[in-house]
Amino acid sequence: MYLKSIEVNGFKSFANKMIFKFDSGITGIVGPNGSGKSNVADAVRWVLGEQSAKQLRGAKMEDVIFSGTEMRKPMGSAYVAITMDNSDHSLPIGFEEVTVARRVYRSGESEYLMNGSPCRRKDIVELFFDTGIGKEGYSIIGQGQIDQILSGKPEDRRELFDEAAGIVKYKKNKLETEKSLEAERENLNRVTDILTELE
Ligand code: ATP
């Protein structure tokens, strides 16, 4: 699996529709300070479901929408789509190519799309579980993040190893199963109480 392309339109400094195409090797993005290199990585984080404006180096979520320049009016929405080559079926979905997209309007309205069909944020997050690519994954390492990882709490570091080991989805399933078990236990107690009353 590899990242084939990123499409941005109205996202941060990218007012016009732009498509970055990548091959399977190494690609470097170079440019002067402030030209938008980190905004490309922010676009990938955002489309994968990032909900923290701070992680995207903004104050509020609306800051991802192109805010205008002297020459150009602000945009009303931001759109990002990334296309992954999935010919090795690393992603658990029956498509050779997967495009996930996210759009947000200034009104706060937003949507996620998977291969063109509307979906939930949860669907995208779960698709990338244990691939290292998710928004919590280790494949996007921001400036200063290495220091943060090394000096962070052991529990936070553990999350990174869990993702690399591919056990995040099992942990999540375990948590959900424990919750349902607890609910069933409560139901059983209630039934036992009623039966006792009837006897
Ligand atoms: P450096 O090399 O200094 O790290 P960079 O190439 O990574 O810089 P970015 O941090 O990606 O640059 O881009 C910063 C630029 O993006 C700034 O000029 C900033 O004004 C612009 N920018 C960020 N958010 C928006 C927005 N919502 N609308 C318009 N421009 C924006």
Strands 2-9 and 77-85: antiparallel
Residue positions counted in the chain: 199
In the β-sheet with 18-21, what is the strand arrangement from edge to edge? 18-21, 2-9, 77-85, 97-105, 110-114, 117-119
Residue 135 has a pLDDT of 64
- Determine whether domain 2-140 maps to CATH 3.40.50.300: yes
What is the best residue among 6, 9, 12, 45 to mutate for testing ligand 1's pocket, by most ligand atoms within 8 Å of CB? 12
What ranges do the domains of the chain cover? 2-140
37 is in an annotated binding site: yes
User: What atom in ligand 1 is closest to the CA of residue 58?
Assistant: 24
For this complex, say whether ipTM is above 0.85: yes
Atom 13 of ligand 1, residue of closest alpha carbon: 36
Ligand 1 pocket by C-beta < 6 Å: which residues?
12-13, 31, 33-39, 63, 65-67
Confidence of residue 166 (pLDDT cuts 50, 70, 90): confident
